[in-house]
Chain A
Amino acid sequence: SYELTQPPSVSVSPGQTARIACSADALPKQYASWYQQKPGQAPVVVIYKDNERPSGIPERFSGSSLGTTATLTISGVQAEDEADYYCQSADSSGTYVIFGGGTRLTVL
């Protein structure tokens, strides 16, 4: 089965830059999106189409995709950014939705 691979956890200090990677063979052909989920809340899209940021999402959130890896970058991390982050894409055929396993971002 097709999978998106993310690290289980990432830790950074406030003000530093956090980078969360998402890897899959089909990423060169498919867009990646990223979702932030805080405890007890529904996920919220923070990046779509690899690097587009929805209105209302702070500029410190950015995305990129190169080859088989998509990356979510959070510059100047704040305590409020502590959350689970999920990448999402489509399988190689462009038919089915796939999610990564999620990355817990801890702000030290």
Chain B
Amino acid sequence: QVQLQESGPGLVKPSETLSLTCTVSGYSISSGYYWGWIRQTPGKGLEWIGSMYHSGRTNYNPSLKSRVAISVDTSKNQLSLKLTSVTAADTAIYYCTRLAYVVLVPAWFDTWGQGTLVTVSS
């Protein structure tokens, strides 16, 4: 059974960098799928941040692309998220996800972490 567990600071100051790690168990990142992040602002909808294949190919939400970096460490079976220059608008629950592609098109998220709340505040 594949499990994803997010970890990282729950509080980040404005203008600083948000950094999160996701530890994957029950499946090797190197075996396939895309791995990435989705966020949900309190009381609102879901926003895809980006996804990455273990080979290094990445795909980011155009609205966040200039501030986002997703990386994968296959030796630790982990993925990471960095979001720079954060503001209060980046306060959200951040979910680690596994994304299935069909014929080179992102299709569905079959596994989610429990999510971690990150608050941006001084």
Nearest Cβ on chain A to B1's Cβ, whole angstroms: 11
Question: Interface-forming stretch among A16-24, A40-48, A66-74?
Answer: A40-48
- The answer to whether B108 touches A49 (Cβ under 8 A) is yes
- The answer to whether A54 touches B112 (Cβ under 8 A) is no
Given contacts A86-B46, A95-B59, contact A42 B107 (CB under 8 A): no
- The answer to whether B46 touches A90 (Cβ under 8 A) is no
Given contacts A97-B48, A97-B99, contact A54 B115 (CB under 8 A): no
Question: Bound state CA distance, A30 and B106, in angstroms?
Answer: 9
Please, which residue of chain A has its CB at the minimum distance from the CB of B51?
A97
Question: Bound state CA distance, A34 and B61, in angstroms?
Answer: 20
Given contacts A43-B112, A101-B45, contact A49 B99 (CB under 8 A): no
Q: Which of A48, A86, A101 contacts B107 (CB 8 A)?
A: A48
- The answer to whether B108 touches A90 (Cβ under 8 A) is no
Given contacts A86-B46, A101-B45, contact A31 B109 (CB under 8 A): no
- The answer to whether B112 touches A90 (Cβ under 8 A) is no
Q: Does A79 sit at the interface, judged by CB under 8 A?
A: no
Residues of B in contact with A, size category: 20 to 34
Within 8 A of B (CB), among A86-105: 86, 88, 90, 94-102
Nearest Cβ on chain B to A57's Cβ, whole angstroms: 12
Inside 8 A of B100's CB, which chain A residues have their CB? Answer: 48
Inside 8 A of A49's CB, which chain B residues have their CB? Answer: 102, 107-108
* A-B CB proximity, top 6 nearest: A48-B108, A33-B108, A94-B105, A97-B48, A42-B112, A99-B46
- Some 29 contacts from A to B, beta carbons below 8 A apart, are A1-B63, A30-B105, A33-B107, A33-B108, A33-B109, A35-B109, A42-B114, A43-B46, A43-B95, A45-B109, A48-B100, A48-B107, A48-B108, A49-B102, A49-B108, A54-B110, A86-B45, A88-B109, A94-B104, A94-B105, A94-B106, A95-B106, A96-B62, A97-B99, A99-B45, A100-B45, A101-B45, A102-B45, A102-B46
By a beta-carbon cutoff of 8 Å, the part of chain A in contact with chain B is 1, 30-31, 33, 35, 42-45, 48-49, 54, 86, 88, 90, 94-102
